[in-house]
A and B are shown apart, each in its own frame.
Chain A
């Protein structure tokens, strides 16, 4: 049986079938369609106004690589300029290789690259040091908890360094679906109440963030990278196997096999969750130490670092916050405060 024709241009031979709609498309038409969808997301949500200086969180992985490429293609039409910001968490054997990929990409696209390192920003604490500190005592190391909060702070710092007005990250639809599942399984009502939108508008001095790839499924991101022959780093983070997100990811894979639209259905559900007002997070204020966005007296990054420096790493996780010097009644166990979903171990 001969290969089908591309459904769009009817000229070239179809090279793939889109996972969601099943249409057969050739490589060029698929890439065009993908870019058009991202453009539509950005324009319809008014995410990146013309003249914005956009800091792209680049980790060297497939999502941020595709994001940077697509935004570069769309930059003239949107009227934005891009800067790459890479975060070095200090994970040996993983981050160095990823950073090398980012540097190659920056050279290829001729975009300015800034690397911010945890060690510089957070007083010498690299992720490896954090992992050593939280190891033992029979409990999980909660590396993703630390890494996620600190990375967002680092991204913010890096964006300010380059004078950006917006931050974009490469979270795709699968990430959003995993986040919803994970938050439900962990009972994190505050995050459930916050999530589901297209990003945060940036309250209280924090830069606005968005996720232009939010509606693209992971498969399509990989296909796009394949057809555009993008060079990215595809290893998994060293600490990923112990992350709770792995369970949610496994479940999502199973769900997708049973019903292909499961990812979209989950995102739809997440948008429409109605939580009681008592479960919603309090209105954000400013951290008393660093002045960043915080819903309590101390922002989560400062709280985590405080715990690490005192030799009690789990101080700011869960209900252990009573030990911190902050005013106000301790609230119900909410491990993180970052208004974006939990860190994805590998981009």
Chain B
């Protein structure tokens, strides 16, 4: 994709792309358990390529998630057009492309130019000089990151967590440097696999955002996927024919057995099925084009509901009428003869609040002040299922926990308001009306 963008921007191309790109690389070596030497080596190779490309580039280590502010998780309204107008090519898929491919580029420039019509803005500024890389991450951060990923029990949850953190980091970098769009190099094959995987993870409501062309759930930064019509095979041929340099770095699931995670399973299944029924990937892709970004019964219109803490999609948990709400709560709300089942990973006990194991078995529900319950109820269904594999929320980067605390406080304004009223009730009854709104 970077190569394509390069060609598109060159003076010889028929339809010249008109935006200002930058490149971001995320170094995920710590999450994958790479040694520092291996990481440094991969980084050096990457920089060589980036320097030949010539766009401004930023190399960010995943450890920097620990420095992110909670505002990353908030959705800002789209800023008025025309101020910055600079776009950005995110090449993190550089690192995450499975096993052989690094930079992606395929097809021909007209198809890319067609995608850019929607994105074109007049170039208002020259590309900045390539920046020097940020300071290398501290050992404490690296250790915190590896502790976080080690504490996750299944590979599936690890991959999902990695994806969430990566998205947040890219968002942050984009916002800091004033980019309004992020382009990722997901190919048709990858998106088809991602679609099926999201389905299996319970994210059926958000498929249009996860696999569509543009993803606007973050508000001011839009994620676009210009490569979504090119299959992996085409990409491989392009890279080979045009000698596009690529870097291979091991990903989280490199050399993992096939049954290790849902992502691996689905990938192997789809590729095997593709052998037998050659139209599988394109069929799934076409089905994804028929998905729309709306709640199922079209009852959108009202005020936007709460958003998931991690993936920032509108929450999809209903209360009673959904079938799976029942299924998931079956152990808790069923016949009166059975006491509520303790969830398999006794969460409130691990939150360090010092409670006894038996508390969940009691009849009373867990209290709201429990931080884990507080975070869980702000997540969508898919993220909740992932959180089950995370026994304790402590290793999570602080910005997530801080945002959770902030949101739960604003969700219960009544408690705060009543508390404030209580303070003033004794003193002066006239002040009640004024303090009621704060």
Distance in angstroms from B309 CB to nearest chain A CB is: 18
| Chain B residues within an 8 Å CB radius of A44 | 320-321, 326
Q: Which of A65-73, A272-280, A286-294 contacts B (4 or more CB under 8 A)?
A: A272-280
Answer yes or no: A135 CB below 8 A from chain B CBs: no
Proximity string of chain B (192-216) to chain A, C-beta cutoff 8 Å, 1 when within and 0 when not: 0001101111111101100000000
| Chain A residues within an 8 Å CB radius of B130 | none
Q: A247-B273, A255-B265 are in contact. Are A268 and B341 (CB under 8 A)?
A: no
CB contact between B290 and one of A41, A251, A261, A276 (< 8 Å): that residue: A276
Which of chain A's residues has its CB closest to B260's CB? A258
Answer yes or no: A265 CB below 8 A from chain B CBs: yes
Query: When the two chains form their complex, are residues B330 and A255 in contact, meaning their CB atoms are under 8 A apart?
Result: no
Interface of A, secondary structure class, is helix
Distance in angstroms from A342 CB to nearest chain B CB is: 16
Query: When the two chains form their complex, are residues A40 and B291 in contact, meaning their CB atoms are under 8 A apart?
Result: no
| Chain A residues within an 8 Å CB radius of B316 | 272
Answer yes or no: B422 CB below 8 A from chain A CBs: no
Query: When the two chains form their complex, are residues B331 and A23 in contact, meaning their CB atoms are under 8 A apart?
Result: yes
Kindly state the separation between the CA atoms of A307 and B338 in the bound complex, as whole angstroms.
Answer: 55
Which of chain B's residues has its CB closest to A255's CB? B200
Q: A185-B284, A257-B259 are in contact. Are A275 and B291 (CB under 8 A)?
A: yes
Query: When the two chains form their complex, are residues A254 and B269 in contact, meaning their CB atoms are under 8 A apart?
Result: yes
Chain A: number of interface residues, binned into ranges: 35 or more
Q: A8-B337, A21-B331 are in contact. Are A266 and B200 (CB under 8 A)?
A: yes
Distance in angstroms from A274 CB to nearest chain B CB is: 5
Distance in angstroms from B165 CB to nearest chain A CB is: 20
Which of chain B's residues has its CB closest to A247's CB? B273
Kindly state the separation between the CA atoms of A344 and B337 in the bound complex, as whole angstroms.
Answer: 35
Query: When the two chains form their complex, are residues B381 and A265 in contact, meaning their CB atoms are under 8 A apart?
Result: yes
Query: When the two chains form their complex, are residues B262 and A21 in contact, meaning their CB atoms are under 8 A apart?
Result: no
Query: When the two chains form their complex, are residues B283 and A187 in contact, meaning their CB atoms are under 8 A apart?
Result: yes
Answer yes or no: A308 CB below 8 A from chain B CBs: no
Kindly state the separation between the CA atoms of A278 and B286 in the bound complex, as whole angstroms.
Answer: 13
Answer yes or no: B382 CB below 8 A from chain A CBs: yes
Query: When the two chains form their complex, are residues A262 and B334 in contact, meaning their CB atoms are under 8 A apart?
Result: no
Which of B199, B205, B284 has the largest number of chain A CB atoms within 10 A?
B199
Distance in angstroms from B380 CB to nearest chain A CB is: 10
Query: When the two chains form their complex, are residues A274 and B294 in contact, meaning their CB atoms are under 8 A apart?
Result: yes
Q: A187-B284, A278-B290 are in contact. Are A215 and B202 (CB under 8 A)?
A: no
Query: When the two chains form their complex, are residues B334 and A36 in contact, meaning their CB atoms are under 8 A apart?
Result: yes
CB contact between B330 and one of A21, A180, A186, A271 (< 8 Å): that residue: A21
| Chain B residues within an 8 Å CB radius of A276 | 290-292
Answer yes or no: A115 CB below 8 A from chain B CBs: no
Proximity string of chain A (169-202) to chain B, C-beta cutoff 8 Å, 1 when within and 0 when not: 0000100000011001111010010000010000
Interface members, chain A 6-24 (any B CB < 8 Å): 7-8, 20-23
Answer yes or no: B413 CB below 8 A from chain A CBs: no
Distance in angstroms from B326 CB to nearest chain A CB is: 6
Distance in angstroms from B189 CB to nearest chain A CB is: 14
Interface members, chain B 272-296 (any A CB < 8 Å): 273, 280, 283-284, 286-287, 290-296
CB contact between A268 and one of B259, B280, B292, B381 (< 8 Å): that residue: B381
CB contact between B204 and one of A36, A198, A259, A269 (< 8 Å): that residue: A269
Distance in angstroms from B208 CB to nearest chain A CB is: 7
Query: When the two chains form their complex, are residues A273 and B344 in contact, meaning their CB atoms are under 8 A apart?
Result: no
CB contact between B327 and one of A189, A215, A247, A273 (< 8 Å): that residue: A215
Answer yes or no: B385 CB below 8 A from chain A CBs: yes
Q: A33-B335, A266-B200 are in contact. Are A184 and B284 (CB under 8 A)?
A: yes
Kindly state the separation between the CA atoms of A272 and B199 in the bound complex, as whole angstroms.
Answer: 10
Proximity string of chain B (308-327) to chain A, C-beta cutoff 8 Å, 1 when within and 0 when not: 00000000100011111011
| Chain A residues within an 8 Å CB radius of B259 | 254, 257-258
Interface residues in chain B, defined as those with a beta carbon under 8 Å from any beta carbon in chain A: 154, 156, 195-196, 198-205, 207-208, 259-262, 265-266, 269, 273, 280, 283-284, 286-287, 290-296, 316, 320-324, 326-328, 330-331, 334-335, 337-338, 341, 344, 381-382, 385, 388
Interface residues in chain A, defined as those with a beta carbon under 8 Å from any beta carbon in chain B: 7-8, 20-23, 32-33, 36-37, 40-41, 44, 173, 180-181, 184-187, 189, 192, 198, 214-215, 247, 251, 254-255, 257-259, 261-262, 264-279
Q: Would you give 18 A-B contacts (Cβ < 8 Å), ordered by A? A: A181-B196, A185-B196, A185-B284, A189-B287, A215-B323, A215-B326, A247-B273, A254-B269, A255-B200, A259-B262, A261-B385, A264-B324, A269-B203, A269-B207, A272-B295, A272-B296, A273-B207, A273-B291
A sample of 16 more A-B contacts (CB under 8 A), given A185-B283, A214-B323, A272-B316, is A20-B330, A21-B344, A181-B196, A184-B284, A185-B273, A186-B283, A255-B200, A258-B156, A258-B261, A264-B327, A265-B385, A266-B202, A268-B381, A269-B200, A273-B291, A279-B290
**Shortest 6 CB-CB contacts between residues of A and residues of B:** A269-B204, A265-B202, A272-B205, A187-B283, A268-B324, A279-B290
